[in-house]
Copies of this chain bind each other. A is one copy, B any other.
Amino acid sequence: VAQRTARPRIADVAREAGVSKTAVSFAFNSPDRLAPDTAARIRSVAEELGYSPHPVARMLSQRETLTIGVLTPQALSVIFSNPFFGAFSEGVAVAAEASGYALYFISPLHGSLAGAMRRATVDGVVAIGLSDDHPEVEQIRRAGVPLVVVDSTALPDHDSLDVDDVGGARAAAEHLLELGHRDVLVVGVEPPAPAATAPTADGPGVARHQPPGGVTGRRLSGYREAFRAAGHDLPDDHVVLGPATIDGGQAALDEAYATGLRPTAVLAMSDAMAIGAMRAIRERALTVPGDVSVVGFDDIDLAASVDPPLTTVHQPSRRKGEEAVSMLLRRIGRRGSGRPEHRRLVTRLVVRGSTAPPARS
């Protein structure tokens, strides 16, 4: 590797071209204010020297980064292993790129999300899955950066975007109830354990005492509504939580079986977990949907391609990403002012092949 030589600065170009630093700056930022040939000469000298404006210096003086942050309370590793997040990011990326913004991922560093947030050089933030009871949410809000929260219990002061989790979950549960299922296991997404407070890495387990908020809470109440309306019960010990990954779903199901549960159906809060659950079910030499029905949530691209095709609740993941960025860019444009906007996108149940009536035993 070529030893890195000192990066040329604007003064070098100015000297070499025999003009002032201002002229060089103009050549890059407002060429119209320069005689055409001066501008051309400056640019060619710059090219020759390999000069380009230092982005950090530029940011500092323009107070603008042309970057938007994607903030998540989970480690990026768990995030990137969830296909739903891939689709969401796709939407975010499309909208950001279209407006010339780059993407910066903000995740807990050294256990601190607020710390990572302070380090982030962004013009605004899309926060996904940041529940309002997150211990650092207050510090994050105070950063004073335009913020759109996605899939959170709406912070009334901030723009928010979510989907009809309750309705979608209710539809999923109703579907199982109509098929005749009564003994149903809920496989939920575990709210990220803030490493700062309680780093209890005890894997998936039954729901903790405090009722989960955010998406998990909303979907859970959707499931419950359906059961209640049908005059049935969804006991607390039939709710197992874990990370929203294939492995998480598999582990969650194993956990439930270890507890002695033998449900005829599974309501998973993420397709990745649903797929993991199906794996666990098969490893027990049971079949889907013959012995156990499975319903997912998200409707990832591959949901229709797995075996059996997954019955799931569709949510517009890509659009969610696009819409979040577009709300954020609007707010950035307004320089943060204006009343907060709250949007909710629709969900719908997509019935495929992973659900069937329970086996008569």
Q: Are A103 and B104 in contact (CB under 8 A)?
A: yes
Query: Among A35-43, A196-204, A301-309, which stretch is in contact with chain B?
Result: A301-309
Chain B residues, Cβ within 8 Å of A116: 102
**Chain B: which residue is nearest A118 at the CB level?**
B52
Q: Is A29 located at the chain interface by the 8 A CB criterion?
A: no
Q: Are A65 and B76 in contact (CB under 8 A)?
A: no
Q: Are A104 and B107 in contact (CB under 8 A)?
A: no
Chain B residues, Cβ within 8 Å of A326: none
Q: Is A233 located at the chain interface by the 8 A CB criterion?
A: no
Within the oligomer, what is the number of copies of this chain?
2
Query: Bound state CA distance, A116 and B100, in angstroms?
Result: 9
Query: Bound state CA distance, A102 and B75, in angstroms?
Result: 11
In this complex, how many residues of chain A approach chain B with their Cβ under 8 Å: the count is 73
Known A-B contacts A97-B75, A275-B302; A335 and B4 likewise in contact (beta carbons under 8 Å): yes
Q: Are B302 and A56 in contact (CB under 8 A)?
A: no
Query: Among A88-96, A162-170, A218-226, A235-243, which stretch is in contact with chain B?
Result: A88-96
Residue in contact with A336 in the complex, picked from B1, B77, B307, CB distance below 8 Å? B1
Q: Are B77 and A90 in contact (CB under 8 A)?
A: yes
Residue in contact with A60 in the complex, picked from B57, B91, B302, B308, CB distance below 8 Å? B57
Query: Among A178-186, A258-266, A337-345, which stretch is in contact with chain B?
Result: A337-345
Q: Are A76 and B103 in contact (CB under 8 A)?
A: yes
Chain B residues, Cβ within 8 Å of A106: 102
Query: Bound state CA distance, A85 and B86, in angstroms?
Result: 9
Chain B residues, Cβ within 8 Å of A50: 142, 144
Chain B residues, Cβ within 8 Å of A7: 144
**A residues lining the B interface (CB < 8 Å):** 1-5, 7, 50, 52-53, 55-57, 59-60, 65-67, 75-77, 79-81, 83, 85-87, 89-91, 93-94, 96-97, 100, 102-110, 116, 118-121, 142-144, 157-159, 246, 275, 278-279, 301-302, 305-309, 331, 335-340
10 of the cross-chain contacts (CB-CB < 8 Å) are: A4-B336, A7-B144, A66-B119, A93-B105, A100-B109, A100-B110, A102-B104, A102-B119, A306-B306, A307-B307
